[in-house]
């Protein structure tokens, strides 16, 4: 069974440009999460989808970030326009979430974003 996949693995863009990150969750996982780790900090939650609906987007830093999950399969995270402080590693995770106490989130390899 394939794990969570993310594309691209690395992205280098200039300030003001747009970047779109993609995540493909494990097949059959309705729950999809985005996290990010900026330099020197801990991994922080961005948002959570249940199928195509945003369940919790309280971690999104500002309106330059737009996440979508059309059709409830893969998800995209767009940053527009990118700023220097957006540099970091963006992780995607998915889970089945049958019960909160036992739910395990499975993480992808991450996309390393560098904004110059």
Instruction: Please report, as residue ranges, which positions from 6 to 25 form the binding site for another protein (by CB under 8 A).
Output: none
SS (H, E, C) the chain: CCCCEEECCEEEECCCCCEEEEEECCCCCCEEEEEEECCCCCCEEEEEEECCEEEECCCCCCCCEEEECHHHCCEEEEECCCCHHHCEEEEEEEECCCCCCCCCCEECCCEEEEEC
Smallest distance from another protein to CB 16, Å = 27
Smallest distance from another protein to CB 91, Å = 7
Could you say whether residue 103 binds another protein (CB under 8 A)?
yes
x-marked contacts with another protein along 43-82 as a string, rule CB under 8 A: xxx--x------xx-xx-----------------------
Candidate ranges 14-22, 33-41, 61-69, 70-78; the one touching another protein (CB under 8 A): 33-41
């Amino acid at each position: 069974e394939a794990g969570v996949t993310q594309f691209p693995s690395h992205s280098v863009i200039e300030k003001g440009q747009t970047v779109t990150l993609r995540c493909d969750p494990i097949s059959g996982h309705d729950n999809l999460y985005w996290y990010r780790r900026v330099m020197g900090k801990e991994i922080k939650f961005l948002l959570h989808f249940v199928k195509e609906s945003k369940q919790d987007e309280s971690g999104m830093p500002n309106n330059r970030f737009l996440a979508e999950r059309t059709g409830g399969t893969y998800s995209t995270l767009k940053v527009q326009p990118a700023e220097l402080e957006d540099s970091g590693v963006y992780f995607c995770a998915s889970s089945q979430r049958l019960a909160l106490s036992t739910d395990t989130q499975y993480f992808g390899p991450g996309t390393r974003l560098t904004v110059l």
